[in-house]
Amino acid sequence: MQSNLSSDYHRHLNPIQRAAMLSRAYADFVDQTIIDFVGDAGTDKGAVDEVQRYLTTHGWFITFTFYDRSCQGLSNRLNSDNPLMIKLDHLYKLVCRELLGPRYAKHRNEQPLCIAALDINSTRYRIAPSEVRNPHLHSIWVARPGTETAFISFINHVREDARFGGFGFKDIDIKPIISFKQSVGDQSVLGSYCPKFLGRNTDQMVYADDFRVYPVHRR
């Protein structure tokens, strides 16, 4: 019964309302994932001030932009892999290898948090593939205690070293996280901004495989 009521409710929403509702759900998930991860690192999960203090020394907001050729293969077909997310997956594994060594897979609890979401440049609400401009990835990275220096050193190396041109990165914009403030019942700016395109994309399915979280949970 509740499912049917929910479906009826959703059908009465216009596309903008549906997208806004979905975006809030993504933002809530991002915030809670960060809080849980930082709590596992030894802080009080219920203390936003402690979460913020940890993020200012161990967290970064990183945006990856790509050359056009790297965006070929983006698809709205379900179960299709996003080529930009494939590149991110490869980078995440390299980061883990750098921080934890070649057997990093056995040390999941020491791996950094990465939350990545697809975004595109501003468009009208109804998005046709021909209207899409500059697909890019916003990502939130949070290092485990004691790995933050090695992490940011390696990311800067990726940004500056031409050997990593195979990723197809046009630019990597690295910003330290300076705030994780939430109002009562609201999402953080960080949690809202990272997945800001996903509400529209989930409603319209412009591109599949638009959101990933690492480390991947074991099944």
Domain hosting 48: range is 2-214
Average pLDDT over residues 109-130: 76
Residue-wise DSSP of 74-138? ---STTPPPHHHHHHHHHHHHHHHHHH-TTGGG-GGGSPEEEEEEE-S---SS--GGG----EEE
| % of the chain with per-residue pLDDT over 90 | 42
In the predicted model, what is the mean pLDDT of the chain?
Answer: 81
Task: Give pLDDT, residue 114.
Answer: 98
Residue 135 lies in a domain: yes
Please check whether residue 31 is in contact with residue 59, taking contact to mean a CB–CB distance below 8 angstroms.
Answer: no
| pLDDT of residue 218 exceeding 60 | no
Task: Give pLDDT, residue 124.
Answer: 44
Task: Give pLDDT, residue 9.
Answer: 45
Residue 60 lies in a domain: yes
* Residue 96, C-beta contacts closer than 8 angstroms, at least 6 positions apart: 104, 105, 111, 112
Please check whether residue 104 is in contact with residue 97, taking contact to mean a CB–CB distance below 8 angstroms.
Answer: yes
pLDDT tens digit sequence for 165-211: 677 788 999 999 988 876 656 788 888 888 888 887 777 767 778 89
Report the C-alpha gap between 59 and 141 in whole angstroms: 6
Please check whether residue 93 is in contact with residue 167, taking contact to mean a CB–CB distance below 8 angstroms.
Answer: no
Residue 219 lies in a domain: no
Residue 156 lies in a domain: yes
Task: Give pLDDT, residue 88.
Answer: 94
Residue 20 lies in a domain: yes
pLDDT tens digit sequence for 76-108: 665 567 888 999 999 999 999 999 999 999 999
| pLDDT of residue 2 exceeding 70 | no
Task: Give pLDDT, residue 92.
Answer: 97
Residue 43 lies in a domain: yes
Query: Between 122 and 16, whose confidence is greater?
Result: 16
State the CB neighbour count (10 A cutoff) for residue 211: 20
Domain count, the chain: 1
Task: Give pLDDT, residue 139.
Answer: 97
Residue 14 lies in a domain: yes
pTM: 0.85
Beta pairing partners, 119: 136
**Which is it for the CA torsion 117, 123, 125, 126, positive or negative?**
negative
Task: Give pLDDT, residue 164.
Answer: 67
Report the C-alpha gap between 114 and 88 in whole angstroms: 10
| Lowest mean pLDDT across 49-63, 69-83, 126-140 | 69-83
Residue type, 185: G
The tokens of 12 are what? 């009465």
Residue-wise DSSP of 26-52? HHHHHHHHHHHHHHHTTS-TT-HHHHH
Residue 133 lies in a domain: yes
Task: Give pLDDT, residue 130.
Answer: 52
User: 135: pLDDT confidence band, cut at 50, 70 and 90?
Assistant: confident
